[in-house]
Amino acid sequence: MVFLKLPFFEFIRLNFGFRACFLLKRCIRLMNKNIKIRIKILFLKTCFKEYLVPIHLIKFLNYKIDIMDRSVNNINTMKNLKHGFVQKILRFEVNDSHRQLSTLQYELYKNYRNINSVLPIDICDSFFRYQENKFAKNWHEENVRIIKKIERLKRITTYDKCKHIKNIKYTHHDRTKN
């Protein structure tokens, strides 16, 4: 008798049915989504704390508002209003992401229960152990990507702040000619 080594999901589908295979694949999708939402929250909170403006919100800062009185006080007031608006949007996005995460965790819990009711414990344990290692690697990669993104935003922000500074021109006066 010859035993064929089947791919994992094919083995699950043949021995436990399409529903079990669907639940396992759904679990993977939900965990990937979980990582993406957590990384998004980390990014948005960092932007909020360090007064960085993400690329998708820069258009609000660059929006030109035509005001009659161009005094320094009014221009600074407009800048403050724009930055305050961006901070409020960031806070809203963080709150919305937390709500998404809460809903997702409930879906994951239901999915885990369904998987445990369909598959034997040893298969569940091996699947979850393997996925845990895979997701830890995925988390690390996403975290490194976000750190690089934040560093890039910091460089852009620093450059934008410094490009308005004019170079100092030095002139030499010869005092002996007077």
Q: How far apart are CA 109 and CA 111, in angstroms?
A: 5
Query: Which are the contacts of 31, defined by CB distance < 8 A and separation ≥ 6?
Result: 108, 131, 135
pLDDT average, residue stretch 165-171: 65
Residue 65 class from Cβ within 10 Å (0-12 exposed, 13-18 middle, 19+ buried)?
exposed
Q: How far apart are CA 49 and CA 101, in angstroms?
A: 21
pLDDT average, residue stretch 64-91: 80
CB atoms within 10 A of CB 129: 10
This prediction has a pTM of 0.78
What tens digit of pLDDT does each residue of 24-48 get? Answer: 999 999 999 999 999 999 999 999 9
Q: How far apart are CA 36 and CA 18, in angstroms?
A: 27
DSSP class of residue 57 equals G
Residue 6 has, within 13 A of its CA and on its CB side, a CA count of 10
How high is the pLDDT of residue 1? 34
Q: How far apart are CA 106 and CA 132, in angstroms?
A: 18
Q: Does residue 2 have a pLDDT over 80?
A: no
Q: How far apart are CA 22 and CA 13, in angstroms?
A: 9
Q: How far apart are CA 54 and CA 63, in angstroms?
A: 15
